[in-house]
Structures are given as structure tokens and as C-alpha cells.
Amino acid sequence: MLKFILRRIGASALVLLGASLLMFFLTINSGDPLKDLRESNVQNKQQLMDQRSALLRLDDSPWERYWDWLSGVGGCFTGNCDLGVTINGVDVLGLTQQAATSTLRLITVATLLAIVVGIALGILTAIRQYSGFDYSITFSAFLFFSLPVFWAATLLKEFAAIQYNNWIAVGQYAPWTIVIVAILAGFLLQAVLGGTTRRRLITAAATFAFVTVMLFVFNALDWWRNPMFGIAGVLVVSAAAGVLVAALVVGLRNRRALYAALTTAVVGTVAYVAFAPMLVNDPSWLLLAVLFVVAIVVSVAIGAAWGGYARKQVMLVTGITGLITSIMVVADILIAHWASFLSIKSRPISTIGSQTPNFTGGFWEQVLDMGTQILLPTILLTLVSVATHSRYTRSSMLETLNQDYVRTARSKGLSEREVIVKHAFRNALIPITTIVAFDFAALIGGAVITEQVFGWKGMGALFQDGLNAVDPAPVMAFFLVTGVAAVLMNLVADIAYAALDPRIRR
């Protein structure tokens, strides 16, 4: 495996080297960096032109300029990183750090959501092939995939930001809105669960009644402006998630896995109560990271203690349950701070920028601010990627489910869960890993347009400003970050190939 990884790293380095050379020469030949000065009428025009020529080293050969840039990048391995300066004399390294933080935060969240949601929908549509649910997801996937990014962004700004901000000022659903939402929820859930006509009607009616009652209760409690979840909510959701994970991974017949998942949920909730003062009162990102690692380690240890003959699978169950419990703890804290956040920022969903200028508030209010700022562009990028992931996952799962070894597994009397999870799903993931890697690179390219629409100062703005000014330093910084990220994702895909199918290593 080590030789396999080293070969892939060497090939990736050569790809980056060749691509950087091509990018540099295309940029410096894309226009005249002195054009604005040549058309200027200032008296010291020649002096300014000489200064810019010296700054950009226009009198040197392109190969010398490229070698200097490459040498500066090589210094990053020794702690002396030098990415040059912009056409205005600003250090590119500082600009890149700020822009990369903004863009990669957006891309990472969108990618993770797209993978989880897209693969889940793809598996469900493959299992429910040619059902109403399958046709609905197929139609939605093609719709989202074909949406122009700028047009979808405009719709999101109007309905998910402007109209929502108007509504949250009151925070009350009208009765007719509640009825429509309940009808849609009942229709969607019966389509997902399927079954006979009688079962579908019961599912739809029960969902309609439940959603209607809950929304009226939320209105009465003013929950949308002063929400609450609480310790009990964290425990119930974490325990339910643990049961679901255990059912999917090992089945509910394995009582050890079920008890381990429930133990993890209880221990996580008790730990939340114990550490609540540290978590609620302005913690740091370092503290959250340390507590998260401890939570995962403890969860896996619980799985090892309960495991028995299926220790590895039970450890996987408890690890995922611990992850979900940690997410629920953070969600509960954020929900508790929503009212104070609204008192600071009455219109919470912003349409411009990656964070609110001069925002005043505690740690969790700042997290909510960053979350609401990233919400709209994340939704936009996720919808486009979910369409791709769901279609490829469906196709791969259908192809796998028709293989001989799957039919053999069914003929042996294995449950449908075991056939799908243990035999079909892992093999169906092999072609999907390629799509995920390429989609990550496509998301970076799509983020250039998305950032421009939503006013994000990320890598897209850095690239566009550099290209418009025929300034190679910002453009090459964009290439360095996005190119390395794309190559790393392809490297991860290659390693995932080797892990899923050992034959690929040879």
C-alpha cells in the first residue's frame, strides 16, 4: 500500500508541475498589465509604468519569472513561503490565507453534505426502482443539475433570505401554510416508505396530523424566535440515531450493538451535562476540537467493550453514534443562542459576504453568524452536487444489485439489509469515489461564480482580480490552493479504490 501511495503522490506532483507551467504562461500572455497606465493622462505615467514593470519583472524572461515563483513555492516546505506580491504591492500569501479559508470552508461543507445526501438518495432510489419516489428524485436531480447557478442564487436570495427575514420578524406560520406544509410532508413520507395503498394512506394521514399539531404548538410557544431543544431532545435524537445505525450496520438482532449504541447516547448526554458550563460560556475552537476527539475515542471504546464477536462492526456503530451525539450537542447549544443572535442581528440570513462586518456577540453568536452567511451558497452548491451523486449512486447500485454474487447472497437466505449493506454497497462505492473527487474540483470552479453572486471574498475573487489585471501572482495562488485540493481529492479517491478493492493496488 505504501508503494501504491508513493507512486500516486509522484504522479500528482508531476501533474501539478505541468499544470502550473501552463497556467503561468497563459496568464502572462492573456493581456497587457500596463494597459490602464498607457491610457492614463497623469503626468508621472512613465514613472508609474516603470515601477509596475519592475514590480512584475516584465523585463525578465517568462522562464525566469516562473522559476522565481516556483522557488518561492518550494520555500513553503521549509517555512519560507513566498508567493510574491500583487500588482499593487500587497503580499499574496496573506491574501491567499484569507481567501482559502473562506472558499475551502464553503467547499468542504457543501461536499460533505452532497456526499451524504446524494449517496443516501441514490441507494433509496435504486432499492425503490421505478416507484413514485424514484421518479420524483430523478426529476429533481435533472432539474437541479440543469439550473443556472446565477439564477438559482437569485431565487435563494429572494425566498430563503429576504422573504425569510421578513417572516422571522414575526415568526408565526399562517394556518393555511401549516396545512400545505403538512400535506407535502405526508405526501413525501408515504412516497419514501411506500407499501400498499392502505399503508400509504395511513402514513400520509399520521404524518399530516403530527406535522399540523407540532407546527401549531411551535406557533403557540413562539418557538421559531425562542427555540428550545434541551437535554431530553439530545438524548432522544441520539438514541434514535444509534438504533438506526445499529439496524443498518449489524441489524437489531445483535443486541450488543444495540446496547452499545444506546450506551453511547446516554454517556454523550451525561457528558454534555457535565461539560455544559465549559461549552456554553464562550469556549474556544481548540476546546471543541479536543472534546470532539475525546467523544469519538470514548464512543469507540464503548463499542470495543460491548463488541463481542462483532467488535469491529459494533465499534463502527458506536463511533457513528458518538459523532451524531456530538453534532446534536452543538445543535442544542446553537438553538439555545438563537434568540440572543436575533437580538443582535434582526435579519439573520445575509445575501452578501462571508461574515457580518463589526459583528458583536459571543462565541456561539459568531458561529451562528458564520453559519447563516454560509447557508445560501452551501445550499446552492449542494443541490447541484446532490443531483450528480444521486444519479451515479443509483446507477452503480442497480448494476451491483444485478450481479451474480448478490443473487447468491439472497439465495442463501440473507436479509435484504445484509445483502445491500455488506455485499452491494461497498462494491457500488468504487465508481462513486471517482465522481466525488471530480465533483470536488468542479465545485471549486463553480464556487468562483457562486462567490461572485454572494459577494464572498474567496479564491474566486482573488483569481478574477488577478486575471483582470494580468497579474500572475494571485492567479497562481488560486491555482496552488485549488489545484492542490483537487489533486489531493483524486489521491484520496485512489487510496479509497485500493481500500475498497485490494486488486487495484497491484
Amino acid at 83: L
Considering the entire predicted model, what is its pTM? 0.82
- Averaged pLDDT, 224-244: 93
* Rg over CA atoms, the chain: 27
- Averaged pLDDT, 481-499: 78
Amino acid at 32: D
pLDDT surpassing 60 at residue 392: yes
CA distances from 30 to 12, 88, 473 (A): 27, 19, 14
**CB-based burial of residue 253 (10 Å sphere; 0-12 exposed, 13-18 middle, 19+ buried)?**
exposed
pLDDT surpassing 90 at residue 242: yes
Looking at per-residue pLDDT, the higher value among 451 and 216 belongs to 216
The whole-number pLDDT of residue 204 equals 92
The whole-number pLDDT of residue 174 equals 92
pLDDT surpassing 70 at residue 446: no
Cα within 13 Å of Cα(184), Cβ side:
6
- What CA–CA distance (Å, rounded) separates 127 from 35? 60
pLDDT surpassing 90 at residue 215: yes
pLDDT, tens digit, 9 for 90 and up, residues 146-190: 888 888 888 889 999 999 999 999 999 999 999 999 999 998 888
- The answer to whether the CB of 417 falls within 8 A of the CB of 248 is yes
- What CA–CA distance (Å, rounded) separates 168 from 325? 28
- What CA–CA distance (Å, rounded) separates 48 from 41? 12
- The answer to whether the CB of 316 falls within 8 A of the CB of 303 is yes
- The answer to whether the CB of 27 falls within 8 A of the CB of 467 is yes
pLDDT-derived band of residue 1, with 50, 70 and 90 as boundaries?
low
pLDDT-derived band of residue 293, with 50, 70 and 90 as boundaries?
very high
The whole-number pLDDT of residue 316 equals 92
Alpha-carbon dihedral angle through residues 484, 487, 491, 493, given to the nearest 10 degrees: 120
- What CA–CA distance (Å, rounded) separates 174 from 281? 36
Residue 42 sits at the vertex; the CA angle it makes with 41 and 44, to the nearest 5 degrees, is 135
Which residues, 6+ apart, have CB-to-CB distance to 314 below 8 Å?
250, 254, 256, 257, 260, 303, 304, 306, 307, 308
pLDDT, tens digit, 9 for 90 and up, residues 411-421: 888 888 888 88
Amino acid at 449: I
